[in-house]
Structure 1
Amino acid sequence: MTEEWLLDRSSTIPLFQQICDRIVEKIRNGEWPVGTKIPTQRELARRFGVNRSTIVYALDELTADGLIQSRVGHGTVVVNNTWNVIASSRSHDWGRYVAAGAHQPNHQWIQIINKAEEDKAILRLGTGEPSPDLLPAHTMLHSLQSRGDVLSLSYSEPRGSLRLREALSRYLLSKGIKAAPSSILIVSGALQALQLISLGLLREGSTILTESPSYLNSIHVVQSTGVRPCGMPMDKEGLIAGRIGPMKRQTDAAMLYTIPTFHNPTGCLMSASRREELMRVCMHERLPVVEDDVYGDLWLDASPPAPLKSLDREGLVLYIGSMSKSLGPGLRLGWVVAPEPVIDRLSDIKMQTDYGTSALSQYAVAEWLETGLYDKHLAGLREELRRRRNHMSTLLDRYMQSYAEWSLPQGGFYIWLRILLPLSVRKLFELALKEGILLHPGSVYDPGLGEPYLRLSYAYASFEGMEHGISRLAALIFQLGGKQ
């Protein structure tokens, strides 16, 4: 077989499509002008080294495009070589490339949610970000304008701005975490931290243990690297530590991912004793822990127990923090605290992907940490979130007491609502969206949920929006679930 007829059998492009492309090329180049009788199906199958059925499929495509035609007694001939026909009929099929991409598409509901959030008129009753009213945009702008420092817009070093890492090192001491600047990597949000850990530390096919339900199921950044999440049971104190050892040995898990403080989506707060038990188990099993602490600063009633990382004496915990939930998601700024060899590995990958987190964001966060503006902002943010949580709790008591059950979270954004009536959450989601109310179904966070759950958030909607949304949600649940 000559190179002219050689097909790329390792390509994601189907063989019949490659054959179509070769024939179109010959027509376009004038090798096969109008009136040319092309080789027989048998001959083409021999030249391309494929089954005759593959040739038939390719020729049918070209016939449908108006380029060739079978004539009784004359075989198959070229009937058109005009550019407009070739261009329209052989336009590039990006769909094949999209389907072949390594990164998995978002959960279907998450795609719908993301699209709906573009509509400013939508009432976002489950969204995972604070309302713009809670973010200090004007104060931050004023604080940056009042400084006489020279702002560098150059690339920062691989680990991130030294000034910011030094500020974070001091900030983390308040949480009981001792981390030198060299053990901190600045990342573009916690999501990038998870991606870097998956790419840099885990083999394809690895298993990572996590709570069930879990935020990790609502994104595919880990799954797209070939890592498989495996759900673990929870109770009121958080992840059940006694199940970690058996599950680790059963699945040969490589890591544990957990959100112990104001868990997403349940809002659960892991107790201090459970944290100590979890660390003992993981140290015994030599199981590394990824601790996601992006909600840790958002306590509403009392300071939460110290992070798992504060109990870590063996470098077993990779600690993730972020400013997205407190200072502003648009900053796209987070960090990883880990042993220096891990930081070296992750920073090398980060430099290969984006050359570093925004210099402006790093400058702003360092400024706010150093001047005390961040602590002042947190005090006001906690007060406002407390008011919002209490308001949503009052509304749930008023409208949902007969239809659902829930627990009042001690911090974070979320209330995990279990609906008591038998109904289709998909139908509820669709009906609510038609009324301009956007929900977050529980199955996004655990596809195996056997009961209807919703993740509600009190962080985004206004007080008036919450009342409208909760009252209408109760009516829709009653409509779908029937009378009590």
Structure 2
Amino acid sequence: MSFTEEKTNRKLPKYLQIIDYIKEKIGNGEWPIGSKIPSQRTLAKDFHVNRSTVITALEELMADGLIEGRMGKGTVVINNTWTLLAKNSAPNWEKYVTSGIQQPSRRIVQEINKSESNSDLIQLSKGELSNEIFPLSAMKEIMGKVSKNIEAFGYEEPKGYLPLREALSVYLKTIGIQASPSSILIVSGALQALQLISMGLLQRGSTVFLDQPSYLYSLHVFQSAGMNLTGLPMDKEGLLPNHIHMTKGERGKAILYTNPCFHNPTGILMSEERRKEILAASEETQLPIIEDDIYRELWIDENPPYPIKTIDKNGHVLYVGSLSKTLSPGLRIGWIVGPEPVIERLSDIKMQTDYGSSSLSQRVAAEWFTSGQYQRHLERVRHQLKIRRQFVTSALETNMKNAAVWTIPKGGFFIWLKILPSISMKLLYKKALTKGILLNLGSIYAQEKGNYIRLSYAYASLEDLQKGIYELSLMIKELASK
């Protein structure tokens, strides 16, 4: 929500509106002592004024003793309307905020996360299906059906709503996985699956081997739990298993994470042979595998190879799936398939964290599977992604032929774009943002060499994709000429 959407007295001069707004935030305890207030630029943008108006407001608040500018920290709250009158000061929330176990996201990742909700931006980065592809009528129909048949419901059993796990057991057979409902855990999206694994199966100091670059580097799921990420190189067939080398101390304290289908961010599809090699390396070293397969149903050209889990006869693989990429992230429904003792352990941890995923969402998800609507929806999604992929590759050929190189993905959401001129990617990101275009730079995925962008063709409209790529090409040429 922007500041101007919140309650302000619009009859007052703008600088007084800003003062009242900040005082209200401070007085209500929303911005406690030690909080950094929004930048002058942000306030000017949200109140539709120039920065001199903001400076006038801030100077008055400083004179009142409520805020002060601090070197390297911006402008912070130093008092509130209560502490100015009272002897006891408020707790130092800033100290608490910086002391939490969960590490904060990198500043650029936080900025991207906030900007992804800005509908005024051209979203060239967003890993989500477009609203144009969202099955609104089918979702209304299914939700209506569920609501008509609904009875009183409370917490589900620890592993999740049984009819959904039964439906998933049937669905998983279509991709070669034999899993009974008792070996399936319903989670609130694939990210929660990783959090549960980090809490329930690994100890501090453990090593997480993973593809590099990887989406996991933009998060701090494992690092916040005191674990180390060790990146492994990839080629056009996926992760290179011969680079897995464990020390004696790592045995029993390591796990391998991989995203074999339409890898995020590179779009690489792991070959069938490579999947066999990875499982063989895992079995030889007794290294468990997390197979994150949330993009597999988004194939465009042909069915991808069966999951690694299908050839796992010894329980090495924890298989993670989700409806967030294929149907709706708002449902918050995912699943983990694994050995029953592991699923029992993770289900106990889940009960301790949230006492189960949404009962309503689980019922809706079950209806999508059992009605046959999910497979019909996937066919429509693949058709739309094929159109979008063709459109974007054509736009890239027209506008970026001499500025970048790329490989056409066989499915998923992303094109991994390597920018050829030696330019500042941070400057490109900032310049694009001022032009109303949001980018995801390769650096947030630990791409250490070369200049890369993860370009999504799944979310923005075709018109915005065309405009965004054209504007991007102009910015690259401009930066390269300096």
TM class, shorter-chain normalised?
0.7 to 0.9
**What does 1:43-442 align with in structure 2 at a 5 Å threshold?**
84-85=83-84, 87=86, 90-146=89-145, 148-244=148-244, 246=245, 254-442=254-442
* 2:298 aligned counterpart, secondary structure: coil
Q: CA offset at residue 86 of structure 1?
A: 5.8
Matched AA of 1:115? K
Structure 1 contact 152–359 (Cα < 8 Å) conserved: no
* Alignment match, 2:33: none
Q: Deviations over 1:53-85 (max 9, x none)?
A: xxxxxxxxxxxx9xxxxxxxxxxxxxxxx9753
- Could you tell me how far apart the structure 1 residues matched to 2:413 and 2:114 are? 21
SS in 2 for 1:198: helix
Rounded Cα–Cα distance in structure 1 between residues aligned with 2:388 and 2:106: 29
Partner Cα separation in structure 2 for residue 88 and residue 466 of structure 1: 58
Write the deviation string for residues 74-129 of structure 1: whole angstroms up to 9, x where unpaired: xxxxxxxx975364882322100000011000121110111112221011001111
Greater shift in the superposed pair: 109-118 or 211-220: 109-118
Runs of 5+ consecutive residues of structure 1 not aligned to the other structure: 1-64, 66-81
Structure 1 residues 294 and 349, CA gap change in structure 2 (3 angstroms)? same
Could you say what secondary structure the match of 2:132 adopts? helix
Distance in 2 (CA, whole Å) between partners of 1:126 and 1:280 is 35
The Cα shift of 1:236 comes to: 0.3
Q: Measured at CA, do residues 216 and 83 of structure 1 come closer, stay the same or move farther in structure 2, by a change above 3 Å?
A: closer
Distance change (3 Å), C-alpha of 1:323 and 1:83 = closer
Shift of 1:248: 6.2
CA–CA distance in structure 2, aligned partners of residues 309 and 482 of structure 1:
50
Are 2:471 and 1:472 aligned? yes
Q: Identity of paired residues, percent?
A: 50
Whether contact under 8 Å (2:210, 2:230) holds in the other structure is yes
Task: Tell me the CA shift for residue 153 of structure 1.
Answer: 3.3
Per the alignment, do residues 248 and 277 of structure 1 end up closer, same or farther by CA in structure 2, a change over 3 Å counting? farther
Q: Secondary structure at the match of 1:291?
A: strand
Structure 1 residues 452, 254: closer, same or farther in 2, change over 3 A?
same
- TM value normalised by structure 1: 0.80
Extract structure 1 runs of 4+ deviating beyond 4 A.
247-253
Q: Which residue of 2 aligns with 1:38?
A: none
8 Å CA contact 2:408, 2:415 repeated in 1: yes
Report if the CA contact (8 A) 1:129-1:325 is conserved. yes
Change in CA separation of 1:321 and 1:90 when aligned onto 2, cut-off 3 Å: same
Structure 2, unaligned runs of 5 or more: 1-64, 66-80
Contact 2:206 2:250 in 1 (8 A): no
* Greater Cα radius of gyration, structure 1 or 2: 1
Instruction: Look up the SS of the partner of 1:202 in the other structure.
Output: coil
Residue 241 (structure 1) shift: 1.5
In 2, the alpha carbon distance for the partners of 1:83 and 1:405 equals 59
What secondary structure sits across from 2:208 in the alignment? strand
CA contact (8 A) 1:216 1:229 kept: no
What CA RMSD, in Å, does the superposition of the two structures yield over aligned residues? 1.7
Q: Equivalent residue of 1:335, what SS? A: strand
How far, CA to CA, are the matches of 2:170 and 2:294 in structure 1?
A: 17
Q: Output one character per residue of 1:23-51: Cα deviation in whole Å (capped at 9) or x when no partner.
A: xxxxxxxxxxxxxxxxxxxxxxxxxxxxx
Query: Cα–Cα, structure 1 residues 426 and 196, in superposed 2: closer, same or farther, change >3 Å?
Result: same
For residues 87 and 240 of structure 1, the distance between their equivalents in structure 2, rounded to whole angstroms, comes to 63
- In the TM superposition, residue 157 of structure 1 has moved relative to its aligned partner by 0.3
Is the Cα contact below 8 Å between 1:116 and 1:438 reproduced in 2?
yes
Quote the Cα distance in structure 1 between the aligned partners of 2:119 and 2:152.
35
The Cα of 1:180 is off from its aligned counterpart by: 0.5
The alpha-carbon deviation at position 227 of structure 1 amounts to: 1.5
TM-score where L is the length of structure 2 = 0.81
Once the two structures are overlaid, the 10-residue window that deviates more, 198-207 or 218-227, is: 218-227
Task: Give deviations 1:153-201, integer Å, cap 9, x for gaps.
Answer: 3110000000000000000001110001000000000000000000000
Tell me if structure 2 keeps the 8 A contact 1:113–1:438. yes
Q: Partners in 1 of 2:400 and 2:462 — Cα distance? A: 17
